[in-house]
């Protein structure tokens, strides 16, 4: 066990230590103490992960750390062990790095909150769980982290639990995630049934085994449920896992929790609901990419869902006025793009977007946070504006973030998003799978175009133009303390730089990132990757087009919200159809209400009905009736005892005659 793996073993537990310290001794530590401990824990974990990263990057080999045997029943042997390979090292750095930055930021942001220790306790616990998720060397540990982060997001969303709305949002998040976890769990069961193990390596290794492949590909007919559905075992497994991923990464139909999750403190939104947790779904799929590529139908479903989510969410983002809601939907949309990439086999592309997105989305959230902080809690874009000069640093950084997410070269978003779009269009442009590629490509492009619009809308409404909010709120607005601005700046730098890690071959870049991930993620479809070289021209064309679109849309947005702020309103005035559409979009297509009507209430109603009818009315009634009958019979029986000797004598005589008759018959016959 060399030094690197020793560090690896320590990393998560630093955060756990922080959690315990804050959780148990929070009262003693007090505000500043709590914050200090929390931040220290995070940063320490980052520092400790550096040597690990160095080791991995230098050798390219995975760093392992076995701790102890966790569960050990018959053929189920689960080690509590960490594994940091080419895939997880990136997550490791993102989580610890961005995590520490956000911890630092929180120290400033939450400074005035009543229960700082609790906050940092949760945050550290989240870090711990997330690291478990990322570093666990088997699916079960990942699942532990998976549920752990779910718990933390529950706790953090409901951090200000005195507001029932927030508490409710937290619960919603947890339960929706649980639905995803249900899928994850089923996937686990199935995996174990096939591989008799949860270890990545074992699974990966056994995939080569012919009879296991054959077992996986064996298709069975689900005619019992739907009309004639054929599904291969691996298809089922991957679908189950995708359900899990969709839950965690807020894809249709399970995205509903993420927008509400904005009820939590903004740094939380940045860390959990933008940078790290929500991307764990992508991470998981990359982990199991070799499994997924065995099930093309699943891949298509993933791509479709991803694309749809991207567009759908972006659409809703267009019409939100809550600054955080906009970002939330944008996150959903970006996640959708990532899934789109995964679904088209662009595992590295998707994961690269995870990487870059972590930076600029965190940046955007934190910026939004600092705006909210400055306006002392104001979140409505319509009451902002003209903050450019009040919050220069924030504005600058957020501008960078916006450019990055919009996909303006040479910011990070450009490279990652371009790769995704290419993967989407690839089928079409290479003429292998035109229709398929066309649909996905269009979805991707539209989504990114809308991204450009709503992001610039946000930026403009918040910082440019004239202040629309109350004057004194505007006058009190001030730049945030260094603890908050510093992270912004760092993240901004990353958002600029990160892209260059993966300059595509088309631009004569090294595509180092993809190359780096090559060994750990599956290549799919084989043909495309084979002919990859021959399409650089098409790829360049796509880049140009998408860049132009980005510029155009951004400009359009700028123009509208700077010069003609009233325009949208007018348009809506003009055509009622558009108006209704707008209302529909603004109200998020009434999805929440629909869920409430279709799922939540019916379940509760069923529960109540069952309770009343089955338990109370049927079962208990049956019992009570039985008791009653007994009482009645007995009451009747005792009335026979009328107290008159003569009657007694009659029975007596009857009995005597019966006995006489019996014996005379029995013996007389003998």
Partner 1 sequence: MTLGAHDLQLFSPVLILLGTAAVAVTADLYSGKIERGALPFISLGGTVAAAISLLSLWGRNEEAFGGALRIDGLAVVMGLAACAATALSVLMSASYVRSSGIDFGEYYGLMLTAAAGAVMLAQANDLMSVFLGIEIMSIAVYCLTGITRDREKSTEAAMKYFIMGAFSTGFLLFGIALLYGAVVTTGGTEGILQSPSQSSLLRLDALARVPANTPLLAAGLALFLVGAAFKVGAVPFHAWTPDAYEGAPAPVTGFMAGVVKAGVFAALLRSATVAFPHLGLEWGGALAFLAAATMVVGNVCALAQTNLKRLLAYSSIGHTGVILVGIVVASETEHAAAAVLFYVIAYVVMTAGSFGLISLLAREGGELEDISQFSGLASRRPAAAAAMTLFMASLAGIPPTAGFMGKFLIFREAIQNREFLWLAITGIAASVVSAYYYLKIVVAMYMRDPAKGEEFPKGEDRWGAVLGLGLASIATIALGICPAKVLEWCNAAIQSVR
Partner 2 sequence: MSAPILSALLVIPVAGAALVALLPRENAREAKLAALLTALLTFLVSIPLWTQFRPGNAAMQFVETRAWVPALGLTYKVGVDGISVLLVILTTLLMPICVLASWSITDRVKEYMAAFLILESAMIGSFVAQDLLLFYVFWEAMLIPMLLIIGVWGGRRRVYAALKFFLFTIVGSLPMFVAIIYLYFKSGAQTFDLETLRAALNPAGNEPLPLTVSAARWCFFAFALAFAVKVPIWPLHTWLPDAHVEAPTAGSVILAGVLLKMGTYGLLRFAIPLFPGTAAEFAPIMIVLAVIGVIYGSLMCLAQEDMKKLIAYSSVAHLGFCVLGMFVWNDKALSGSILQMVNHGISTGALFLCVGVLYERRHTRLLEDFGGIAKVMPWYAAVLIIVTLSSIGLPGTNGFIGEFLILLGTFQVKKLPAIFASTGVVLGAAYMLWMAQRVLFGRVTHEENEHLGDLRGREWATLLPLLVLIFAIGVAPNVFLNRVAPTVENYNRQIRAAIRHENERREAENRHRALMTPLEAPGPGDSRK
Partner 3 sequence: MLTLHNCLLLSAILFATGVFGVIARRNVLIVLMSIELMLNGVNIAFVSFARFYPGSSQAPAGHVFVLLTMAVAAAEAAVGLAIVIAWFRNRKTTDTEEMRSLRW
Residues forming the site for partner 3 (CB under 8 A) = 638-639, 641-646, 649-650, 653
CB 119 within 8 A of CB 54: no
Q: Does 167 bind partner 2 (CB under 8 A)?
A: yes
Q: Which of 36, 86, 111, 168 binds partner 2 (CB under 8 A)?
A: 168
Question: Smaller CB distance to partner 1: residue 434 or 633?
Answer: 633
Residue pair 557/453 in contact by the 8 Å Cβ criterion: yes
Q: Which does 610 bind (CB under 5 to 8 A by kind): partner 3, partner 1, partner 2, none?
A: partner 2
Q: Which of 323, 320, 258 is nearest to 585 (CA)?
A: 320
Task: Give the range of 84-92, 179-187, 323-331, 564-572 binding partner 2 by CB under 8 A.
Answer: 179-187
193 touches partner 2 by CB under 8 A: yes
Integer Cα distance of 522 and 526 in angstroms: 9
The least CB distance from residue 624 to partner 3, in Å, is 24
Q: What share of the chain is helix, strand, coil (3-state, %, to 5)?
A: 80, 5, 20
From partner 1, partner 2, partner 3, none, interface partner of 633 (C-beta below 5 to 8 A by class): partner 1
Collapsing DSSP to helix, strand or coil, 63 comes out as strand
8 A C-beta contact, residue 396 and residue 339: no
Taking a C-beta distance cutoff of 8 angstroms, is the pair 218, 165 a contact?
no
Question: What's the CA gap between 436 and 535, in Å, rounded?
Answer: 18
Residues with Cβ within 8 Å of 532's Cβ and at least 6 positions away in sequence, in order, are 505
As measured in angstroms, the least distance from the Cβ of 624 to partner 1 is 13
- Check binding of 76 to partner 2 (CB under 8 A): yes
- Find the shortest distance in angstroms from Cβ 615 to partner 1: 22
| One character per residue 561-600, x = contact with partner 2 (rule: CB under 8 A) | ----------------------------------------
Neighbours of 151 (CB within 10 A): 16
Binding partner selected for residue 151 from partner 1, partner 3, partner 2, none, CB under the kind-specific 5 to 8 Å limit: partner 2
Q: Are 236 and 216 in contact (CB under 8 A)?
A: no
Secondary structure letter of residue 239 according to DSSP? H
Q: Is 175 in the site for partner 2 (CB under 8 A)?
A: yes
Long-range Cβ contact pairs of 55-63 (< 8 A, separation 24 or more): 55/2, 55/4, 56/4, 56/84, 56/85, 56/86, 56/89, 57/89, 60/86, 60/519, 61/85, 62/86, 63/4, 63/5, 63/8
Task: Say which residue the tokens 């096939």 belong to.
Answer: 194
User: Does residue 207 bind partner 2 (CB under 8 A)?
Assistant: no
Which residues ranging from 623 to 652 are in contact with partner 2 (CB under 8 A)?
623
Q: Which does 85 bind (CB under 5 to 8 A by kind): partner 2, partner 3, partner 1, none?
A: none
Cα torsion 587, 329, 315, 563: sign: positive
Between strands 76-84 and 63-73, the pairing is antiparallel
Token pair listed for 243: 């359900």
Asked if 663 interacts with partner 1 (CB under 8 A), we say yes
Which residue, 164 or 646, has its beta carbon nearer to partner 3? 646
How far apart, in whole angstroms, are the C-alpha atoms of residue 387 and residue 476?
Answer: 11
662 binds partner 1 (CB under 8 A): yes
Spatial distance between the Cα atoms of 131 and 97, rounded to a whole number of angstroms: 12
Cis peptide upstream of residue 410 (ω within 30 degrees of 0): yes
**Site residues (CB under 8 A) for partner 2, limited to 124-143:** 143
Q: Tokens representing 643? A: 């107290």
CB 430 within 8 A of CB 535: yes
Q: Tell me the closest approach of the beta carbon of residue 653 to partner 3, in angstroms.
A: 6
Among partner 1, partner 2, partner 3, none, partner that 667 touches (CB below 5 to 8 angstroms by kind): partner 1
Q: Which of 610, 628, 658, 660 binds partner 2 (CB under 8 A)?
A: 610
Q: Which of the ranges 314-322, 402-410, 530-538, 613-621 carries the binding residues for partner 2, by CB under 8 A?
A: 613-621
Which tokens is 455 given?
A: 């992001």
Binding partner 2 by CB under 8 A: which of 55, 85, 181, 260? 181
Is 73 a binding residue for partner 2 by CB under 8 A? The answer is yes
- Print the binding letters for residues 501-540 with partner 1: x by CB under 8 A, - otherwise: ----------------------------------------
Distance CA 253, CA 234 (A): 22
Q: Which one of partner 2, partner 1, partner 3, none interacts with residue 660, CB within 5 to 8 A by kind?
A: partner 1
Q: Is 174 an interacting residue with respect to partner 2 (CB under 8 A)? A: yes
From the list partner 2, partner 3, partner 1, none, which binds 619 (C-beta under 5 to 8 Å, kind-based)? Answer: partner 2
Rounded to an integer, what is the distance from CA 554 to the centroid of its chain?
A: 28
61-to-11, 95, 429 alpha-carbon distances in Å: 19, 20, 36
Q: Is 660 in the site for partner 1 (CB under 8 A)?
A: yes
Of 193 and 649, which has the nearer Cβ to partner 3? 649
Residue among 143, 41, 163 nearest 95 (CA): 41
Partner interacting with residue 482 (select from partner 3, partner 2, partner 1, none; CB below 5-8 Å by kind):
none
| Number of residues counted as binding partner 1 (CB under 8 A) | 27
Residue nearer to partner 3 on the CB measure, 607 or 650: 650
**Strand locations in 74-174 (E):** 76-84
Contacts of 400 (CB under 8 A, 6+ apart): 360, 363, 411, 492, 495, 496
Which 3 state secondary structure label does DSSP give 199? strand
Among 185, 308, 396, 503, binds partner 2 (CB under 8 A): 185
Interaction between residue 74 and partner 2 (CB under 8 A) = yes
Instruction: Tokens for 224, please give them.
Output: 């019992």
576 vs 668, beta carbon nearer partner 3: 668
Q: 600-659: which residues touch partner 1 (CB under 8 A)?
A: 630-631, 633-635, 637-638, 641, 643, 645, 647-649, 651-652, 654-656, 659
- The reply to whether 119 sits near partner 2 by the rule CB under 8 A is no
- Distance (Å, whole) CA 12 – CA 45: 7
Among 515, 530, 571, 614, binds partner 2 (CB under 8 A): 614
Which is closer to partner 2, CB of 589 or CB of 622? Answer: 622
By the criterion CB under 8 A, which residues form the site for partner 1?
630-631, 633-635, 637-638, 641, 643, 645, 647-649, 651-652, 654-656, 659-660, 662-664, 666-668, 670
By the criterion CB under 8 A, which residues form the site for partner 2?
23, 68-76, 143-144, 147-148, 151, 154, 158, 161-164, 167-168, 171, 174-175, 178-179, 181-182, 185-186, 188-190, 192-193, 603-604, 606-608, 610-612, 614-615, 619-620, 623
């Amino acid at each position: 066990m060399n030094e690197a793996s020793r560090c690896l073993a320590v990393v998560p537990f630093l955060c756990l230590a922080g959690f315990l310290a804050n959780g148990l001794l929070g009262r003693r530590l007090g505000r500043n103490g709590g914050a200090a401990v929390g931040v220290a824990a995070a940063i320490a974990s980052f520092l400790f992960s550096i040597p690990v990263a160095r080791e991995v990057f230098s050798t390219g080999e995975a760093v392992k750390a076995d701790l102890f045997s966790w569960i050990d029943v018959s053929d189920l042997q689960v080690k509590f062990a960490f594994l940091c390979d080419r895939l997880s090292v990136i997550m490791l750095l993102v989580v610890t790095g961005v995590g520490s930055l956000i911890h630092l930021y929180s120290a400033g942001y939450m400074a005035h909150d009543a229960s700082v220790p609790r906050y940092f306790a949760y945050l550290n616990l989240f870090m711990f769980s997330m690291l478990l998720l990322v570093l666990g060397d088997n699916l079960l540990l990942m699942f532990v982290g998976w549920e752990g982060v779910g718990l933390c997001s529950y706790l953090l969303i409901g951090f200000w639990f005195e507001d029932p709305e927030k508490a409710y949002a937290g619960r919603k998040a947890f339960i929706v995630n649980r639905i995803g976890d249900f899928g994850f769990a089923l996937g686990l069961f199935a995996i174990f049934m096939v591989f008799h193990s949860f270890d990545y390596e074992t699974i990966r290794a056994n995939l080569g085994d012919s009879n296991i492949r054959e077992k996986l590909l064996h298709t069975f007919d689900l005619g019992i449920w739907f009309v004639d559905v054929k599904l291969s075992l691996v298809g089922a497994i991957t679908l189950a896992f995708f359900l899990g991923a969709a839950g965690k990464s807020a894809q249709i139909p399970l995205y509903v929790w993420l927008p509400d999750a904005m009820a939590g403190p903004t740094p939380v939104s940045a860390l959990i609901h933008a940078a790290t947790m929500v991307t764990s779904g992508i991470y998981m799929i990359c982990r199991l990419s070799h499994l997924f590529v065995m099930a093309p139908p699943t891949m298509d479903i993933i791509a479709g869902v991803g694309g749809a989510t991207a567009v759908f969410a972006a659409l809703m983002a267009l019409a939100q006025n809550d600054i955080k809601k906009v970002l939330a939907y944008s996150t959903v949309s970006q996640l959708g793009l990532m899934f789109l990439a995964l679904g088209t086999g662009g595992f590295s592309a998707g994961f690269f977007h995870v990487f870059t997105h972590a930076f600029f989305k965190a940046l955007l959230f934190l910026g939004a946070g600092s705006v909210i902080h400055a306006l002392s809690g104001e979140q409505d874009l319509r009451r902002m504006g003209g903050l450019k000069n009040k919050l220069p640093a924030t504005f600058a950084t957020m501008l960078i973030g916006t450019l990055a997410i919009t996909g303006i070269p040479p910011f990070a978003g450009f490279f990652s998003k371009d790769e995704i779009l290419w993967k989407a269009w690839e089928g079409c442009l290479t003429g292998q799978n035109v229709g398929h590629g066309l649909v996905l490509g269009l979805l991707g492009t539209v989504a990114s175009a809308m991204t450009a619009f709503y992001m610039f809308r946000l930026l403009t409404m918040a910082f440019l133009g004239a202040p629309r909010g109350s004057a004194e709120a505007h006058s009190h607005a001030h730049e945030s303390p260094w603890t908050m601005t510093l992270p912004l700046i760092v993240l901004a730098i990353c958002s600029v730089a990160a892209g260059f890690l993966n300059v595509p071959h088309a631009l004569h870049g090294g595509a180092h990132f993809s190359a780096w991930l090559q060994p750990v993620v599956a290549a799919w479809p084989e043909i495309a990757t084979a002919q990859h070289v021959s399409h650089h021209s098409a790829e360049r064309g796509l880049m140009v087009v998408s860049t132009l679109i980005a510029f155009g849309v951004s400009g359009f947005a700028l123009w509208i919200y700077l010069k003609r702020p009233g325009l949208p309103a007018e348009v809506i005035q003009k055509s009622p159809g558009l108006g209704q559409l707008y209302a529909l979009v603004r109200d998020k297509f009434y999805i929440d209400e629909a869920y409430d009507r279709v799922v939540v209430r019916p379940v509760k109603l069923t529960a109540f009905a069952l309770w009343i009818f089955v338990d109370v009315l049927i079962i208990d009634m049956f019992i009570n009736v039985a008791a009653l009958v007994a009482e009645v019979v007995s009451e009747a029986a005792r009335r026979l005892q009328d107290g008159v000797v003569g009657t007694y004598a009659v029975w007596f005589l009857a009995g005597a005659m019966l006995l006489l008759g019996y014996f005379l018959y029995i013996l007389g016959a003998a």
